Chain A
Amino acid sequence: MGGNLIEALGFKVSSSSSLPFFCFTGGVTPKSSLCRVADNKEKMRGLKLPLSQTQRVRLQRAFEKLQSLSAKANSDASVTVADTIPVNYEDAFLKGYGTTDLNGELVATVCGVVERVNKLVYVRALRARYKPEVGDVVVGRVVEVAQKRWRLEINFSQDAVLMLSSMNMPDGIQRRRTALDELNMRSIFEENDIVCAEVRNFQHDGSLQLQARSQKYGKLEKGQLLIIDPYLVRKSKQHFHHLEQFGIDLILGRNGYIWIGEHVEARDSVVIDQAKSIEQSTVVEGINRAYTPLEMRQNICRIANAIRVLTILGFNIDLNLIMETVELSSSLKIDIHDMLGSEFHVLVAEMEAERRSLTTKRKR
């Protein structure tokens, strides 16, 4: 019965309990309970790195160590399409998203992790688009300047909307937005600008409304934007990080857009007075002193590469992990570009396994 369904869907599920979707998720998220990988070769193939034999063995060992340390060692939690979900059929339960009733059995329709909340059983898909929540900090790119609003692209199924009334005006006074303000919208944010904002609410058609009222939100310049998978950025207390020792701002957008740039003092989110327009014209003339200083640029690149390495390995991105990776690379005197080589990936996996085992030992 299960076999017919699988063939009908055109999938080939190997007889061992390996997870074929590792080939295209490209990594392990050890914090969740994805532990069931019988075929390590499948997992290695998902990582597009040329590993020598010793490196392969070391990486495998690090991943196994992380798996064994995972909090919920519940190997039944991860499912692929057409897997039966183990449920006690005598208890009343609610079928949630990602499940379906097939011939009296509860079967998964997406690849992911089974979550149980009271009586609700659902499957949380792993590689999905960003799922917004109210109050999330997101980083987006302006795609359109429309009437009284900006449309931002935030790696969601629809473009988010930032209303003119949700922005602070440059003079700081709270007042009604006049027609002149509307005509000057482009002097605040133009097309292709990077903007940091917060999710305010959902609109009736499912799209998002953003607000940028606080001083820490607004246009982002002088840096680079990294795009990663949204599920790697977990909700935490702090999404804005000011790294004093480097003088760098790090913003972890929950939609998977990460901004790394020069530190800018918290100011009014909108600066459109004369001083800035003069500064922009001198910048356009291409004078060297407007470029980011070399040392700061090196730090920005190092942090960016650290984040790239962590996403390839599939670890959740948070500040401690990023800083440890950066310190590891500087202590080993690894060249910034060599951070993207296979050796450093293996070292980072080993370091994380070590650190995780130490913290669990301390807890016990």
Chain B
Amino acid sequence: MVGLSVGEKHFIQGGIAQDLRSDGRKRLTYRPIYVETGVIPQAHGSARVRLGATDVIASVKAELGKPSALQPDKGKIAIYVDCSPTAAPMFEGRGGEELSTELSVALQRCLLGGKSGAGAGIDPTSLVVVEGKVCWDLYIDGLVISSDGNLLDALAAAIKAALSNTGIPKVDVAVETRSDEQPEVNISDEEFLQFDTSGIPVIVTLTKVGRHYIVDATSEEESQMSSAVSISVNRKGHICGLTKRGGVGLDPSIILDMISVAKHVSEQLINKLDSEIAAAEASEEES
């Protein structure tokens, strides 16, 4: 991270206080979002999202596995994020591990719900093939190629786009099997099932600088933050997850205010993202 001089820091803080940031945005305006789907042909679904200079790729791979004994009617989903050294030199080797774990945990909390799978954005019961015996394991991987702030929002958007792009192959199960045997499955190459992604939430990160909050901070603005709250909101306006970063304590009334601001911002974001994903899928079909 390049340092900032005192004069520059003052300029950034002044901009946020006066509702005019360095690139002309208002406090609650997102940078233009560009979505491309199908960037990794070997994966079942993939997407690349660019938010200003922040560039992330998400890919979804599905494998057949055995459901856990505690939840025989649910499939398994795992989310993991990796920060590539192309994003910043400090990510080389094990340098990016701390940030990767933080992002992975935040995404899991926001998208996967609780231990029993209740309240998850992605419904795990749709992943089961034969109850108790065979289910789909979804591995969602995120890769940060270039980092200019607001990684969490970009990754959540990429995961949503990748899941809409995912096609799970249809499975034919051999009917006559005894109950204690593994059933034979035939994975179809032709037919695919699409996910219903309307229930998947987006993440809105509010960064507090001085007395105001901004949405979609660049890395310069993030260096000035006192604290940041990432709120995951779905289409119905319900909160699916909440994460707070940064050392400065926040008054509870501020958190409630931030939640209502995030809910308001998320409506526009979800609509924008859905239209971008639809456009990306359409252009992918053309080419």
Contact = CB atoms under 8 A, between A and B. Distances in A.
Interface of A: 48, 50, 141, 190-194, 219-225, 261, 280, 283, 286, 288, 290-292, 294, 297-298, 301-302, 304-305, 308, 335-337, 339-341
B210 interface: yes
Interface stretch (B8-16, B85-93, B98-106, B264-272): B8-16
A225 B10 CA distance: 13
> Interface range on chain B: under 10, 10 to 19, 20 to 34, or 35 or more?
20 to 34
B24 A337 contact: yes
Contact of B32 (A193, A280, A336, A341): A341
9 contacts: A190-B6, A192-B3, A224-B12, A224-B22, A225-B8, A283-B10, A294-B20, A305-B24, A341-B32
A interface, by DSSP: helix, strand, loop or mixed? mixed
Most chain A CB within 10 A, of B21, B24, B25, B34, is at B24
Contact of A141 (B2, B6, B22): B2
A141 B18 contact: no
B20 A297 contact: yes
B50 A335 contact: no
Most chain A CB within 10 A, of B4, B8, B13, B34, is at B8
Interface string B140-168: 00000000000000000000000000000
B24 A292 contact: no
A222 B20 contact: no
Contacts of B279: 50
A192 B22 CA distance: 19
A220 B14 contact: no
B7 interface: yes
B48 to A, nearest CB: 11
A254 to B, nearest CB: 20
B34 A50 contact: yes
Nearest to B283: A50
Given A48-B50, A222-B10, A297-B18, A194 B5 contact: yes
A305 B20 CA distance: 13
Contacts of B24: 301-302, 304-305, 335-337, 339-340
B10 A290 contact: yes
B26 interface: yes
Nearest to B31: A340
Contacts of A291: 10, 13-14, 17-18
Top 9 A-B residue pairs of the complex, sorted by shortest distance between their CB atoms: A221-B7, A336-B24, A291-B14, A192-B3, A337-B24, A301-B24, A193-B5, A192-B5, A337-B25
A343 B206 CA distance: 29
A285 to B, nearest CB: 12
A134 B6 CA distance: 30
A77 to B, nearest CB: 32
Given A298-B20, A305-B24, A340-B32, A292 B14 contact: yes
B8 A336 contact: no
Contacts of B180: none
Contact of A191 (B3, B8, B34): B3
Most chain B CB within 10 A, of A283, A288, A337, is at A337
B20 A336 contact: yes
Contacts of B11: 222-224, 261, 292
Contacts of A283: 10
A142 to B, nearest CB: 8
Contacts of B17: 288, 291
Nearest to B10: A283
B32 A221 contact: no
B125 interface: no
B108 interface: no
B7 A194 contact: yes
B23 A301 contact: yes
B29 interface: yes
Contacts of A294: 18, 20
A337 B34 contact: no
Contacts of A219: 7
Contacts of A50: 32, 34, 279
Given A192-B4, A290-B10, A340 B20 contact: no
Contact of B8 (A224, A290, A305, A308): A224
A50 B25 CA distance: 19
Contacts of A301: 20-24
B14 A297 contact: yes
Contacts of A48: 34, 50
